[in-house]
Structure 1
């Protein structure tokens, strides 16, 4: 592979931004079918509530329904691209944060912020989403008085269960 082809083969932050910009455009247009077209036919999509969607058609159908109901009028905001990593020549993993905002919401609040992991696959020269995981960011506390009390309670229950076993 010569140097020019090597540069073209590398997945970059700009490629990630382009994929996310397409997601945003189709979301903001309320276009469930168009949103689904950004995914591979066999894609997996895990929604923020843990629901698993299987394949482009199911992803498109669910988003069509949601854009007409609970997500009506929302816009998708990409907050930050946290990491971009190419996997082989035709794969990439992108981790970003963002949120769906209703028209009355002006900015992303910590309560609405989610983290997305996108697994991208290049097919016929085009980057498509093969996997998508969306999770609300609710950090688990790792210090403070509540953490200490909860930790002791867990330890007591585990020790009790082990003794009973």
Structure 2
């Protein structure tokens, strides 16, 4: 795990929380993975699917560990930020990927950014919210950007004239 930023705040070791998630993931333990979330947690997968509650998170991961994510391991690439959001809450932003056995390292195509909302419950840090998004930088220059920008401008102007 490559960490270049502070990963601890007010009794929270974000690296340990992420390592716990990875251990359950790597063991293909859907129910155990779900135990690391609050009962009412929300989880947005990289494809936009929303999971509600610990049980739904556990069930979906149990299914995925037996099918599309079979044999994968969870890799944290970097913890980008950890900041408190109250006495018993924190927001963690990290990057990482689920890697298949034939993949040796995280490639730009597989890299995702996760935002986790952590809550301390009975002295234990659990995930209350999780958002996972693939990192696909939007181009802001170059010939493709110029053509796409002109096409958008033309369509907007056309729709304004038609209105």
TM-score normalised by length of structure 2: 0.93
2:3 aligned partner: none
Which structure is higher in helix share?
1
1:24 corresponds to which residue?
Answer: 22
Partner residue of 2:53 out of 52, 55, 67: 55
Match of 1:40 among 29, 38, 41: 38
The 5-angstrom pairing of residues 56-135 of structure 1 reads 56-135=54-133
In the TM superposition, what are the counterparts of 1:144-163 in structure 2 within 5 Å? 144-163=142-161
Aligned length: 156
For the residue of structure 1 that corresponds to 2:145, the secondary structure is helix
Q: Do 1:81 and 1:94's aligned partners in 2 also have CA atoms closer than 8 Å? A: yes
Give CA-to-partner distance per residue, 1:58-97, whole Å, 9 cap, x none. Answer: 0000000000111111000000000111001011000000
Q: Secondary structure at the match of 2:56?
A: helix
Matched-pair contact (CA < 8 Å) for 1:11–1:85 = no
> Which residue does 2:4 correspond to in 1?
none
Q: Is the 8 A contact 1:11 1:86 kept in 2?
A: no
**Separation in 2, partners of 1:145, 1:69:** 40
Q: Is the radius of gyration larger for structure 1 or structure 2?
A: 1
Q: In 2, Cα distance between the equivalents of 1:152 and 1:9?
A: 46
Match of 1:10 in 2: 10
CA displacement at 1:128 relative to structure 2: 0.5
Displacement of 1:11 after TM fit? 4.8
Structure-2 change in CA distance of 1:11 and 1:138 (3 Å): farther
